[in-house]
Amino acid sequence: MAKFQAPKGVSEYVPDRSSHFDYVRSTLIESAVVAGYQLVELPVFEDTELFARGVGESTDVVRKEMYTFEDRGGRSITLRPEGTAGVMRAVIEHNLDRGQLPVKVYYSGAFFRAERPQAGRYRQFYQVGIEAIGVADPRIDVEVIAVAERAFRQLGLQNYRLEITSLGDSLTRENYLADLRSYISGVSLDEETTARASLNPLRLFDDKRPEVKDLMSKAPVLMDYLTPESAADFAKVQELLSMIGIDFVVNNRMVRGLDYYTGTAFEFVHNDLGAQSGIGGGGRYDGLMAQLGGQELSGIGFGLGIDRILLAREAEGLALPDGLGLDLYIVPLGTGDEALKISEELRLRGIRVDLAFGDKALKGAMKSADKSGARYAIVLGADEISSGVVSLKEMKSGETTSVTLSALANELIERIANLGENS
């Protein structure tokens, strides 16, 4: 019988690589939490119209990449291809925008796009995102960027850069698009590309074909059309980024892949990932909430790709930091009942414990202890139980210390705390 396999293009993680995945995800989330962002847990599917209207009819995401199906009630349902539209729908539906502003939330989970699978580009992929809704302020633009930057630093990444731009306000875009459409009308494009440009000419900047890239390299630059207000906001963003020590480069031809972006836009690019070099990005989306039936409120956010950040860490040869694995491995001699009891008592104290199960001989059980990656190990037999004393072995050095079972938890907690202070 043939073995089942995961669908093509799905990124999935099993031990030991899943530990690295979890470390990346938890670090990204923690960076958001310390900045006051709270969890919003979203459905993985929504009404198709939410994404068509929120993401943009002209985008490749909506035109080519959505997993859309009809449910039993005849409704058109789509697996979420991105997070912002769903967050905005939830904020409107639950009246979060009627309370204290800004609404600051984070989300994480799987997203879905029907793309051609390749390294760093998957049909099911994982993101952590944040959204700050309700305040138009360059300072919150910088805070959002700083949440990502802080996480990348904590993850040990070095070989990346932050690219920023401004996509202007409605007047900026109105003036710019008039000239851009005039320029495009004077160049030779195939029928499909012309149709795409009629929906949103900015999409042509995303086109990877050399002939289109060459044509668009001569096109007008949006940043040359910024209104005084937009230019002042963007100048303030740059000033604040410099003030808090975040390096950046201005990319005046950056176009985000979703139609809702306005004002500040940014992308983090990693130099070791080849074609799929973006590890996360985002920007401001003034007008999106009103477009989805809510108030006329501003917003800004990002989506960070866990899969690509993990690839970036691997490209830089980064290991997991100490302290994320097991604290103790128990090797029981005999039935192991007492070992199970002690392990549960230690776990209640917050100590990460595993133990050998089954009828493993001492030699085999010690091999399991070594493979577990635990910092410490003890052997627990009849003599240790009757005396109430065990030999606590530090696995890395091989050093052993006699410790009473009654003091084992406190001893481990103290040692773990000392390791944390010295790391």
Q: What is the pLDDT of residue 118?
A: 81
User: 315 and 270 in contact (C-beta within 8 Å)?
Assistant: yes
pLDDT of the residue at 165: 94
> What DSSP assignment string belongs to 301-350?
EEEEEHHHHHHHHHHTTPPPPTTSS-SEEEEESSS-HHHHHHHHHHHHTT
- CATH 3.40.50.800 residue ranges for the chain: 328-422
Question: Tens place of pLDDT for every residue, the chain, 423 residues?
Answer: 888 999 999 989 999 999 999 999 999 999 999 999 999 999 999 999 999 887 776 666 777 789 999 999 999 999 999 999 999 999 999 999 999 999 999 999 999 999 888 877 899 999 999 999 999 999 999 999 999 999 999 999 999 999 999 999 889 888 988 998 999 888 888 888 888 788 778 878 877 788 888 888 889 989 999 999 999 999 999 999 999 999 999 998 887 655 667 899 999 999 999 878 999 999 999 888 988 999 999 999 999 999 999 999 999 999 998 778 999 999 999 888 999 999 999 999 999 999 999 887 888 888 989 999 999 999 999 999 999 999 999 999 999 999 999 999 999 999 988 876 665
* Closest-CA residue to 384 (of 370, 400, 399): 400
Its CATH architecture, for the domain 328-422, is 3-Layer(aba) Sandwich (3.40)
> Can you read off the two tokens belonging to residue 311?
């690839």
Superfamily the domain 17-169+227-315 falls into? Bira Bifunctional Protein; Domain 2 (3.30.930.10)
Of 106, 103, 108, 154, residue with least CA distance to 132: 103
The beta-strand segments (E) located in 98-188 are: 103-112, 124-133, 160-166
pLDDT of 361 reads 84
Q: How far is CA 379 from CA 48, 405, 410, in A?
A: 58, 12, 18
pLDDT tens-digit readout, 139-189: 999 999 999 999 999 999 999 999 999 999 889 888 988 998 999 888 888
Q: Residue 258 has what pLDDT?
A: 55
Provide the whole-model pTM. Answer: 0.91
Mean pLDDT computed over every residue of the chain: 91
What CA–CA distance (Å, rounded) separates 303 from 131?
9
Q: Are 103 and 134 in contact (CB under 8 A)?
A: yes
Retrieve residue 159's tokens.
Answer: 């070989």
Residues of the chain with CATH 3.30.930.10: 17-169+227-315
